[in-house]
Amino acid sequence: MAMYHQKTCIRFVARGTQKGYVKIIRSWESVSGQQNNPGCWSVKGRTGNMQELSLDGTCIHRATVIYELMHALGLIRTTATRATEIRHREIRQHHQR
C-alpha cells in the first residue's frame, strides 16, 4: 500500500466507521461464499460494503497485491496490450457520496 501512496493519489486509511471498506483475508476466511475459491481474488469495483480481497499462499507478492488492490478499486487490466480500463461509474459513485 505504501507504493500506492508514493506513486498515486490513492490513499488507504485504517477503517473507522466507513460502511464500505476492503478486508484482506485468506480465502478460507471468506464470509461471502468464496471459501472454496483459493488464491488471490477481489471483487472488481467498489461494492459499498465490506469487500473481501483474498491473498493466499504463493500469490503474496508485491505485484499480485497491487493487482488485486487495483481490482478492488475498479481498475481492470483487460489485456496485456491494452491500457487499464477505469470503471468510471464506480469512481463517479464514490465522488457523489
Report d(CA 91, CA 9) in Å as an integer: 14
Q: Are 68 and 42 in contact (CB under 8 A)?
A: yes
Identified catalytic residue from 29, 52, 68, 90:
68
Residue 52: active-site member: no
CA distance 80 to 16: 37
Catalytic residue numbers read 68
